[in-house]
Amino acid sequence: MTILNADLHCHSTVSDGTLTPEALAERAKANGVELWSLTDHDEIGGQHRALAAARAVGLPYLTGTEISVTFADVTVHIVGLGFDPDHPALVQGLQATRGGREERAREMSEQLEKVGIPGAFEGALKYVGNPDLISRTHFARYLVETGVCKDTSEVFRRFLTEGKPGFVPHRWAKLGDAVRWIREAGGMAIIAHPARYDHSPTQEYALFSEFKAHGGEGVEVVTGSHTPSEYGKYADMALEFGLAASRGSDFHSPEESRCDLGALPYLEGRLTPVWERLADRIR
Ligand code: AMP
Ligand code: MN
Ligand code: MN
Ligand code: MN
């Protein structure tokens, strides 16, 4: 059934969200979500908590994560759903992917210091719930707190994106490795919010083709990061590449996120939803 209020993409304090897994489960339930997944960046340390919290409120759950990948010099995110959260290939792959984050954060802080913003590393750390996962979002919150910018999107625009003074290029996982870790752990790999990448049409086609060749099976069509015309474009791409379609808010915080948990249009009936292929992995 394509008409299901599934929300298969969001973040907790275990990565760069501001709510705990427990608070997210309650919020999802209250918002009418019927199938939920917590997909923290490069991290599955919140999965057992999320599953327990989903059970406590009677919400069907799929395990989840969102892996940072570098493809054609651009950062791409691959969501994994329905895997065994204790599988060593996935646990070790994610651990390696998280590995460079602290060093990167120290370099970001040094660069910010040069443009007159001191103490950003320590400042960002105040917002970090998981010391293994310091992200640009935590820097953005600190720069808003200190009045350097009025909101987090201004911080990204002025400081934290390519070519700006707080941006440090980073090599993430390889596409094939990320897909393999998810598959070896019994899960389904899904291209997250494809409209957000700075790829040419040729590179985008290559991303979809290579992803499919590695055994990737799904693509996010309806997400908080897409416009309505992009829902249509990626619905067409899902059908063209024989990929199942996913739906998720990418909710991070009540204060920062435009799209709340579950507050999205349904998938179109012509699509095969990812949850049809994951039915035996729903807990
Ligand atoms: P990182 O994994 O440390 O590179 O941080 C990536 C995260 O930064 C994304 O998952 C988003 O939560 C956030 N982010 C990226 N671009 C923006 C933006 N333009 N505005 C607000 N948040 C953003
Ligand atoms: Mn994020
Ligand atoms: Mn993402
Ligand atoms: Mn996300």
Q: Write out residues with Cβ below 6 Å of ligand 1.
A: 16, 41, 68, 135-137, 152-153, 156, 252
Is 107 found in the same domain as 208? no
The protein residue whose alpha carbon is closest to atom 13 in ligand 1 is: 137
Residue 275 shares a structural domain with residue 189: yes
How far, in Å, is the centroid of ligand 2 from the Cα of 102? 16
Residue 1 in this model has a pLDDT that exceeds 80: no
Average pLDDT over residues 94-109: 98
Are 20 and 87 members of one domain? yes
pLDDT digits (tens, 9 = 90+) for 115-139: 999 999 999 999 999 999 999 999 9
pLDDT digits over 24-40, tens only?
A: 999 999 999 999 999 99
Least distant ligand from the CA of 141 = 1
User: CATH code at 255?
Assistant: 3.20.20.140
Q: Model-level pTM?
A: 0.98
Last residue of a domain, one of 134, 158, 182: 158
pLDDT at 105 (0 to 100): 98
Indicate whether 77 belongs to any domain: yes
Provide mean pLDDT across the span 240-261.
98
Domain that holds residue 112: 101-158
Indicate if 118 and 258 belong to the same structural domain.
Answer: no
Q: What is the pLDDT of residues 198-230, one digit of tens each?
A: 999 999 999 999 999 999 999 999 999 999 999
Among the listed residues 94, 93, 18, 77, the one whose alpha carbon sits nearest the alpha carbon of residue 246: 77
277 and 191 in one domain? yes
Domain check: are 150 and 11 in the same one?
Answer: no
**What is residue 2's predicted lDDT score, i.e. its pLDDT?**
84
